Structure formats: C-alpha cells, structure tokens
Amino acid sequence: GYGKLKTSMDFMSDIWLTCDSCKGARYNETVLACKYKSRSIGDVLQMTVQEAITFFKGEKIEENLLIIKQVGVGHLLLGQAGNTLSGGEAQSLKLATAMLQKQNGATLYLFDEPSTGLHYFDIIQLIKVFQSLVNQGDTILYIEHNSTLIDAADQLITMGPGSGNDGGIVM
C-alpha cells in the first residue's frame, strides 16, 4: 500500500526502495487497470490538488478540492504521505477537514505556528481563510512568530520574557 518497501538497517537510517510489483503506484495491476477518464487511481494520487481540480471539474469532489486549495496547500499531491508535510501544511489540511464538516454555531480554531513551512503567498491565503471564518462568527486563536500573521490579528497577546507582571501584555 505504500508503493515502497522499507529495509531496516541496524546502524543507519532505514532505506525505502520502490516496490518492484507496483512500481511505486501503490496498487496491483488489477486495480490500476480500472480507469476513470483514462486515469488510474495511481495516476490520480500523483496529481496535485490544483491538477485534480481541473481533472474533476464540475464533479462533487471539486468543492472539497477547492477548500483544500483555499487553505493554501493546492501544491500538495493527493497521495502525499502525511509524514512529508511541514507543520503549517499539516495544520492547513486539518483546517480544510474542519471546514468540510458542517458546523453548527460558532467554532473555536486553535493553531500552533500555522505558518511553519509555508511560503509567504500561502500565508497570505491562510489569512484570507482565517478572516472568512471570523466573518462567519468563528474564533481563530494562534501562537505565532511570523510578522505577517501577527499583523493580521485582531487582538494580540505578547508573552514573556518573564512571568507575572513581566509575562506580557494584551494589545
């Protein structure tokens, strides 16, 4: 199911080799023989979110893909392993998942350094998503060091460098 085989090395890092059976496609020949618009599931999993939006244009899945793109991770592969994501990409995907679920009432979203590993333009896109959620009555709370995200905050709590009266201020 991984498309790769792990070889454990006693005194070195594990080595991952492409599977000889599936050639990295993650499925056997029978499954890969099934095609949709001349593409197998292996082909689809190698598409970026942006490519998949074009491929699935007008279909029900397009709405979900657009939300993933909206949170700034349209460059990710559909079949990309979770352990290859930056912290910001992983949090953006979690945000997209939450946005895809129908919420009743206001929601509190908590993030820890959501800009980690994101390009400046992805951060700008994330700010737009955050603002749209705030506009619909949700609350976004994040811990952040990135000045672009800090400047976009409605309220700012600075912490440190000490504790008690030296612990920070609310701005």
DSSP letter for each residue of 77-109: BTT--GGGS-HHHHHHHHHHHHHHSPP-S--EE
pLDDT tens profile 76-112: 999 888 888 988 899 999 999 988 886 677 889 999 9
Provide DSSP, 12-67: S--EEEE-TTTTTSSS-HHHHH--BTTB-HHHHHTSBHHHHHHHTTTSHHHHHHHH
Rounded to whole angstroms, how far apart are CA atoms 30 and 8? 30
- pLDDT (0 to 100) of residue 56: 97
The whole-number pLDDT of residue 1 equals 63
CA distances from 27 to 17, 32, 44, 45, 51 (A): 16, 6, 12, 11, 21
What is the C-alpha to C-alpha distance for residues 106 and 164, in angstroms, rounded to an integer? 32
- pLDDT at position 63: 93
- Cβ-contact 50, 77 below 8 angstroms: no
Instruction: List beta partners, residue 111.
Output: 142
Backbone angles phi, psi at 11, to 5 degrees: -115, 10
Written as six digits, the tokens of 84 are: 């290859």
State CA 164 to chain mean position distance.
Answer: 37
Q: List the pLDDT tens digit at each of the 171 positions of the chain.
A: 667 777 887 778 888 778 877 777 788 888 889 999 999 998 999 999 999 999 999 999 999 999 999 998 999 999 888 888 988 899 999 999 988 886 677 889 999 999 888 889 889 999 999 999 999 889 999 999 899 999 999 998 887 777 777 776 666
